[in-house]
Structure formats: C-alpha cells, structure tokens
C-alpha cells in the first residue's frame, strides 16, 4: 500500500519579497477592520485585532505561494491570502503617516 503524502512540509526558506497582490516585504500596512476570533461552535468570541493596527509585510515562503506573510503588532507571524482581497482588509501606510 502506498505511503500517504504528509499534509505539512517544514519551511525554512522565505525568499518571496514581492507578492501577487502588490504588497512587498517591508511595507507597513494598517488593518482596515476588526478581526473577530470564533470559537469551536462558530460564534464570535472576541475581537482578536482592532482596525487601525499596524502590521508589517514579511518575506514569504515560495511553496506554496498562496499567502502573504505578515508580522502582527504582538510580534507573531500571520499569513493572509495573496490576492486582491488583501487590500479589502489592509491599506499601505506611507512613511510620513506613522
């Protein structure tokens, strides 16, 4: 019987600097709306991140190239879908805006 392909792959290389959505590593982005966390039953439990939070676009993994890698204000890394909808949730912050 063939061995089942693993669901996860260890990634230790993050060469992607330019994402399909137009974001680039080093960009500062502002969250446009609250991110609400949900419990196991599907109901909202808490506002995990508030609109206005500043996040940083990080270099990302090349495989699979489907996610924008971000650094949240708490320092943890987070991924987001790499398509035009990224800009529905984030806006680019220019240096003079702080």
Per-residue confidence band for 82, with pLDDT thresholds at 50, 70 and 90: very high
Residue 92 lies in a domain: yes
Between residues 15 and 26, which one has the greater pLDDT?
26
Alpha helices in the chain, H assignment, sequence order:
86-89
79 domain residue, yes or no: yes
- Which residues on adjacent β-strands are paired with residue 10? none
In a domain, 16, yes or no: no
Please give the model's pTM, rounded to 2 decimal places. Answer: 0.78
25-29, 52-56, 63-67, range with the lowest pLDDT: 63-67
Q: Domain limits at 60?
A: 28-97
CA distance 3 to 22: 39
With respect to residue 9, please indicate whether it lies within any of the assigned structural domains: no
Domain assignment of residue 11, yes or no: no
Tell me what pLDDT residue 26 has: 96
Most confident of 38-42, 60-64, 80-84: 80-84
Q: Is residue 77 part of a domain?
A: yes
pLDDT of the residue at 13: 75
Q: Does any domain span residue 91?
A: yes
Structural domains in the chain (count): 1
89 falls within a domain: yes
- Containing H/E element for 38? strand 35-38
Q: Mean pLDDT over residues 10-18, rounded?
A: 81
């Amino acid at each position: 019987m063939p061995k089942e392909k693993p669901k996860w792959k260890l990634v230790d290389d993050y060469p992607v600097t330019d994402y399909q959505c137009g974001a680039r590593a080093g960009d500062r982005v502002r969250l446009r709306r609250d991110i609400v966390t949900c419990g196991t039953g599907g109901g909202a439990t808490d506002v995990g991140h508030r609109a206005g939070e500043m996040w940083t676009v990080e270099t990302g993994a090349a495989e699979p190239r489907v996610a924008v890698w971000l650094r949240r204000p708490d320092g943890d890394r987070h991924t987001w879908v790499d398509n035009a909808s990224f800009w529905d949730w984030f806006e680019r912050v220019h240096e003079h805006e702080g």
